[in-house]
Amino acid sequence: MVEYAITIKDREERNRAAKAIVAVMGYLNPQLQNVTDFKHKLWDHLFVISDFKLDVDSPYPVPSKDAFHAKPQRVPYPTNEIKYKYYGKTMEKLIKKVSELEEGEKKDQVTQNVANFMKMSYLTWNKDTVDDSTILSHLDTISKGKMKLKESAQLNHTQALLALNKEKERERREQSGKKKKHKNKRRK
C-alpha cells in the first residue's frame, strides 16, 4: 500500500491514501492506542516504511532520515572503584563526610554508628562472623586515618546483628508471600 501511495501523482489523492494507510495501521495494532502519541508514531512509521520517499501533508513534523538513523551518544558510566563492595559507594561517601567533621563527642558518636553499620553490611553480604579489628581497619583505610573509635567503644555483637539480618529476611519473605496471596485472590 505504501509503495502504491508513493507512485500516486495527485497530491490530494496521495494524502487520502496516506491517511487511509495510517488508519489501517491503527486498526491492525489496537494495542498502540494506549501508547502516548500513538497517531504520531503511526505517521512516523509510515515515513520509515516508505524510506522517507512519501511526500504528503502530515499532521506532525516529518522525521528526517538522518535523525532517525542517528545513533545515540554513549552514556558515560562511572568508573570509580569501590574498595570494599559490601559497604557500597554511599558508605564511602558518608565516611568521607564524617571524617571532615570537627573532633568531638558528635564525631565520636557518628563514627561509632558508622562502624556498627559497616559491621552489619559486612555480615549481610558475607554471612560469616567478622572480627571488630577488620571493621576498624576498613574504617581507617576508607577514612584515610581521620576516623578512629575510642578505646572504650565497642561494636554491636556479631550474633545480635546476624539475628537482626535473619529477622529482616523473614519479614521480607512474609511480605512477599502476602503479596502473592493477594494477587492470587484477585485472579479468582
Q: Along the 188 residues of the chain, how does pLDDT read in single tens digits? A: 888 888 888 889 998 999 999 889 888 888 877 777 888 888 888 888 888 888 888 888 888 888 777 888 888 877 777 788 888 888 888 899 998 888 888 888 888 888 888 888 888 787 677 788 888 888 888 898 888 887 777 787 777 777 777 787 888 888 887 666 655 555 55
Is pTM beyond 0.95 here?
A: no
Structure confidence at residue 188 (pLDDT): 54
Rounded to the nearest 10°, the torsion over CA 41, 43, 44, 50 is 140
Structure confidence at residue 1 (pLDDT): 87
How far from each other are the two terminal CA atoms of the chain, in whole angstroms?
45
Residues 114-126 as b or e (16 or more Cβ within 10 Å = b): bbbbbbbbbbeee
Structure confidence at residue 67 (pLDDT): 78
Rounded to the nearest 10°, the torsion over CA 170, 174, 176, 177 is 130
Domain boundaries, the chain: 2-69, 88-187
Structure confidence at residue 20 (pLDDT): 92
Helix (H) / strand (E) element for 88: namely helix 88-99
Structure confidence at residue 116 (pLDDT): 86
Structure confidence at residue 70 (pLDDT): 80
146 Rama class: left (phi>0) / alpha (psi -120 to 50) / beta: alpha
Amino acid at position 112, single letter: Q
Query: Which among 149, 108, 110, 146 is positioned nearest to 132, based on CA atoms?
Result: 149
